[in-house]
Amino acid sequence: MDEPAHVDVTRRAYDTVAVDYERLLRGALDDAPADRAVLALFAELVRSAGGGPVGDLGCGPGRLTGHLSALGLDVFGIDLSPGMVEVARGLHPGLSFRVGSLRALDLVDGELAGVLAWYSIIHTPPGELPIVCAEIARVLRPGGQLVVAFQAGDAVVQHERAYGHDVRFDAHRLAPHAVEAVLRAVGLVVHTRVVRDAEGHETTPQAYLLARRT
């Protein structure tokens, strides 16, 4: 499958920042009670539906993959960036990580009991979100759970420096109702919505949607 230019730009940017990204975000979850609460709810929903494999899609260095594993989930990670996957494998040798794209997941239909998409849709232009969300819906089993997190808003932020490196990539602020509409269109029903105010270095509210495949 031919990739849009923004996919390769994003991959190269995260390959560049992978080591420092992990270092700078290490322990960030300790100071994020809302994030921990959303992740705990997601884990409980997956377990209460009988459990099964969970994909951390856009896993980065695996910090949330490891957290979900500690919560008792059978979780693995997929990331666009080979650099991120290398870091994740080094930090979490007991878990599985591989390179892959949200646009074309190397997973069979209905394989997963749960999907974590934690800030992994923010580099996808809004017009292409249906492609990514349809792929997520495809790999979720009926009743499978999704949690998606993103910065709330309606703008494109063009980064030229991030995590101590000169890198260029776009990040899209997304309106929660618009993301929910896309999820609904591909057969995912949002049942829980959380939007919290910006904290610390954040400049925008943060949104979390939990959905179930019908």
pLDDT at 114: 98
Q: What is the pLDDT of residues 6-49, one digit of tens each?
A: 888 889 888 888 998 899 889 999 999 999 999 999 999 999 99
pLDDT at 159: 66
Q: What is the pLDDT of residues 127-153, one digit of tens each?
A: 999 999 999 999 999 999 999 999 999
Q: What is the pLDDT of residues 168-214, one digit of tens each?
A: 878 899 999 999 999 999 999 999 999 999 998 888 999 999 999 99
Pairing assessment for the beta strands 53-57 and 74-79 based on DSSP bridges? parallel
Residues 6+ apart with CB under 8 A from 108: 139
